[in-house]
Amino acid sequence: MNPIRKQRIYALIAILAGSILAVGLVISALSKNLNLFYSPTDLLNNNLSSDTLIRAGGMVREGSIKRSSDSLSIAFTVTDFKNDLLINYSGILPDLFSEKAGVVVQGYLESEGTFRAVEVLAKHDENYMPPEVAKLLEEDE
Amino acid sequence: MIPEIGHILLVIALVLSFVGGLGAFALKRELPVLKISFILNLLLIGSFFALIYSFLIDDFSVAYVAQNSNTNLPIYYKFAATWGAHEGSLILWILSMNIWLLTFIFFDNSKNTNFSNYVFGVCCLVIFSFLLFTIFTSNPFERILPIPPINGADLNPSLQDFAFTVHPPLLYFGYSGLLIPFAISISAMLSGQPNKDWASSSRPWTLLACSFLTIGIGLGSWWAYYELGWGGWWFWDPVENAAFVPWLLAVALVHSLLVTENRNIFINWSLLLSIFAFAASLLGTFLVRSGILTSVHAFALDPERGLFILGIFSFFVLGGLVIFAFKNSTKNVASIYSLNSKEFGLLLNNLLLVVLAVSILFGTLYPLIYEAFTDGKQISVGAPYFEFIIFPFAILLGLLQGIALYISWGSTKSFSFIGKLIVEAISISLLTLVLLFILFDELISASFFTIFIFAWILAGSLMINFSLKPFANYLDFVNRRIGVMLSHIGMALLVLGVGVVSSYSSEKELIIKPGEKVEFLNKDIELLAIKDVQGPNFISKTAEIKVSDDKRVFNIQSEKRTYFPSGQVTTEAGIDTGLFRDFYVSMGDNFKEDSWSFRLQSKPFIRWIWLGALLITLGTFISSINLIRKQ
């Protein structure tokens, strides 16, 4: 075979293999690692199984934060001003977590209206609102 | 008065860059490009200083100062607050593009007047568009009149920190450095036939941009680790990806330019990559500053700004591609290389880097795509996606890197190649075994891969010492090889750090009160006291913690700070740093009386990540300087 043609074929095979590897990886990674965002109202309207990792969010309702006095468990209510969602979490909260602030939690829906958070997401600016939450509040107004 | 002068200087710079840009394309004769770049530089520096001055004298009638400073802010941070938010950082960005241009023109000794003119012209037009953007959507000198606030709102407390003050300038310098390879490519296509000479004039600047990008990203990671108080060093946040993707493309470009320079092939590919690397850096700007993606990096969110940057992005990227399609008279020289040649190795290197960059970009943008196609449903693509993607690429790239330095152009003499491979394989097995034995009690498969790839790259980088005639011409060897050796060894250290810290970190959260003792990883940890401390612009609760194990006893302080006037709370982690293990304590919340929650973390080998980044920075910097000197 013409050496130049042979060389082109090798390059083409490499490029094809690389692209196939990438597409395969991307598809399989996406199918496992997509976390849909739900507002408390969405969660009421959707029947979700309790073993899918999802994101939920809204505003932390004033006066709803309840800490245990001797363990790291904490419970608080997140609201989109139509419906509420009770969040249970165990661990240290980010510094910017506070009442009447927007929050996004990642975790599992347990039973109707309760959510077990495995992660409470921190943002490093207090004026910053996660776009998901900002959108919820906008819709509300 | 001073802010107005700053503003006027910006406007003059706008006009000058526009005239310079048009002139460079319209006039077919030698232009005083060095002089114009220098004047542009003075104008921008003047404007930048006007902004710094407004910060230093607490001129709160300037809206940008009022939003990002405060009379209580220590003077050093007032200075650094200049680039603490969107508007000021843009000025810095434009200034750094101009410094790149000035440096390039200064060292440029090309005989082709058109070539220099076009590089100058492209840079001027980019600078012009950024100035236009700044003046019309993000003017840092805008006044709050007639009644200015008495005091400012304060600089975000997490930004009141040393690494923050140096991380953005270096990162912007890296980002904007990709302008030069872009301008050189456009200019080469317009002024003649891009060939190996074009590649040799582009390579040092790409290396230099790469060097600054690496240190900028590395510092950002280091800052996030110790300042944000939760002990992570990389979050796969869209903004981090927006810096990582240009970095990957810049690294790919460095390698493909090497092929073009030496073999006169891959020309079209190098041209395209130059365009895409610059495009990625513009896209990064767009993602960071438009607020369309959920990110921990908060810049003021403004769709109008986003649209403007998108306009700049489309103009230059599409323009570049149009020139590539219609003005490019590249003739690829047929060159024969075999599967065991350097050419083929670098082809694989480029393929892997670019495909990885595209996959990461895809994951970063996927929430937007998804939202558009599902009528506003919101998703996020988390760290697991990116970790899953990067793992196989890292292994393949690592394997390739191990043999990179001793395969030769055209074809590698098979005997010596296999001989070296055998020597390398033996030395690596030994090194791996020794390291595993010394470093770890337990073995998990990830650590095996990690250490193997580490040893493989390290051995491969050091092996070239034996492949050349040692000491025959030692200085020449140092000059030619030290840069590439340092950066490749840096990569090995980085891989080891990332692998070990991901597999062997451990953490524990608990509540403890003064006088109480707990155990963590064979260490006794005692909370001695919680003290009230008053800082210049914050009050803090400082936890004094005594840590003792069988080797030594030391104290760690972790703080919970409340900054005024914003009232924002931040955690200052207490870190006992070590080459092999960091011990990281962050303070959580107050429970009854003086008991507090704490998060204790052990981070083995985390320093190696930044050490590796530092070596890559140094290596690429040295290579670049050597090449510029040779020109």
pLDDT digits (tens, 9 = 90+) for B273-287: 999 999 999 988 777
Q: Is the peptide bond before B565 cis (omega within 30 degrees of 0)?
A: yes
Contacts of A91 in chain B (CB under 8 A): 509
Q: State the DSSP code for B83.
A: G
pLDDT at residue B334, rounded to an integer: 66
Residue B364 near residue B338, CB atoms below 8 Å? no
> Which residue of A29, A30, A126 is in closest CB contact with B566?
A126
Q: State the DSSP code for B143.
A: B
- The answer, yes or no, to whether residue A135 has pLDDT greater than 80, is no
Q: Identify residue B480 by its one-letter amino acid code.
A: R
CB contact under 8 A, A131 and B347: no
Contacts of B540 in chain A (CB under 8 A): none
Which of residues 509 through 528 in chain B touch A, CB cutoff 8 A? Answer: 509-511
pLDDT at residue B295, rounded to an integer: 55
Which residues does B375 contact at the CB level (< 8 Å), separation at least 6?
none
Distance CA B259, CA B342 (A): 8
Q: Helix or strand or coil: residue B545?
A: strand
Q: Give the DSSP letter string of A5-21.
A: HHHHHHHHHHHHHHHHH
At A140, the pLDDT band (50, 70, 90 cuts) reads: low
Domain A37-140, CATH homologous superfamily name and number: Nucleic acid-binding proteins (2.40.50.140)
B116 found inside a domain: yes
% residues pLDDT > 90 (chain B): 45
Which of residues 275 through 314 in chain B touch A, CB cutoff 8 A? Answer: 291-294, 296-298
Beta-strand runs (E) in B90-231: none
User: Of B495, B517, B504, B570, which is closest to residue B539 (Cα–Cα)?
Assistant: B570
CB atoms within 10 A of CB A83: 16
CB pairs under 8 A between A and B: 129
- Answer with the one of B144, B160, B176 that is the final residue of a domain: B160
**Is B358 touching A (CB cutoff 8 A)?**
yes
Distance CA B312, CA B129 (A): 7
Distance CA A22, CA B392 (A): 10
- The answer, yes or no, to whether residue B302 has pLDDT greater than 70, is no
At B207, the pLDDT band (50, 70, 90 cuts) reads: very high
> Which residue of A11, A28, A55 is in closest CB contact with B380?
A55
- Answer with the one of B131, B160, B189 that is the final residue of a domain: B160
* Selected residue of A1, A7, A31, A90 to mutate for chain B interface (largest B Cβ count, 10 A): A7
% residues pLDDT > 70 (chain B): 93
CA distance A76 to chain B (A): 15
CA distance B369 to chain A (A): 13
Q: What is the mean pLDDT of chain A?
A: 80
% residues pLDDT > 90 (chain A): 6
Q: What is the mean pLDDT of chain B?
A: 87
B383, containing H or E segment? helix B383-404
Q: What is the CA radius of gyration of chain A?
A: 22
Q: Is the peptide bond before B146 cis (omega within 30 degrees of 0)?
A: yes
Taking only the tens place, the pLDDT of each residue in B322-359 is 999 988 777 766 677 777 788 889 999 999 999 999 99
B105 found inside a domain: yes
B40 found inside a domain: yes
- The answer, yes or no, to whether residue B176 has pLDDT greater than 90, is yes
**Is A48 touching B (CB cutoff 8 A)?**
no
What is the average pLDDT across B558-576? 86
User: Of B258, B256, B110, which is closest to residue B187 (Cα–Cα)?
Assistant: B110
Tally of structural domains, chain B: 2
> Which residue of A14, A21, A125 is in closest CB contact with B298?
A125
More confident residue, B113 or B469: B113
What is the average pLDDT across A109-137? 69
pLDDT at residue B257, rounded to an integer: 95
More confident residue, B416 or B142: B142
Q: Identify residue B455 by its one-letter amino acid code.
A: A
User: Of B262, B13, B58, which is closest to residue B151 (Cα–Cα)?
Assistant: B58
Contacts of B348 in chain A (CB under 8 A): 14, 18
CB contact under 8 A, A26 and B592: no
Beta-strand runs (E) in chain A: 34-38, 54-60, 66-67, 73-79, 84-90, 102-109, 114-120
- The answer, yes or no, to whether residue B300 has pLDDT greater than 70, is no
pLDDT at residue B479, rounded to an integer: 73
Which of residues 227 through 266 in chain B touch A, CB cutoff 8 A? Answer: 228-230
**Is B566 touching A (CB cutoff 8 A)?**
yes
CB contact under 8 A, A125 and B566: no
At B471, the pLDDT band (50, 70, 90 cuts) reads: low
Q: What pTM did the predictor assign? A: 0.91
Residue found under tokens 């040092």: B204
Taking only the tens place, the pLDDT of each residue in B494-521 is 999 998 888 888 889 989 989 889 998 8
Q: Structural domain boundaries of chain A? A: 1-34, 37-140
What is the average pLDDT across A2-7? 76
Range of the domain at B565: 506-608
pLDDT at residue A124, rounded to an integer: 47
Query: Poorest-confidence range of A92-96, A109-113, B5-9, B15-19?
Result: A109-113
B584 found inside a domain: yes
Residue B407 near residue B345, CB atoms below 8 Å? yes
**Most trustworthy range by pLDDT among A35-44, B4-13, B406-415:** B4-13
At B140, the pLDDT band (50, 70, 90 cuts) reads: very high
What is the average pLDDT across B182-201? 89
pLDDT at residue B97, rounded to an integer: 96
Which of residues 112 through 131 in chain A touch B, CB cutoff 8 A? Answer: 122-128, 130-131
- The answer, yes or no, to whether residue B465 has pLDDT greater than 70, is no
Distance CA B570, CA B588 (A): 10
pLDDT at residue A50, rounded to an integer: 76
Q: Give the DSSP letter string of B54-79.
A: HHHTT-TTBHHHHHH--TTS-HHHHH
Distance CA B349, CA B259 (A): 12
CB contact under 8 A, B388 and A70: no
Token readout for B405 is 């330095």
CB contact under 8 A, A131 and B294: yes
Which of residues 54 through 93 in chain A touch B, CB cutoff 8 A? Answer: 55, 67, 69-72, 91-93
Q: What is the largest CA-CA distance in chain A?
A: 79
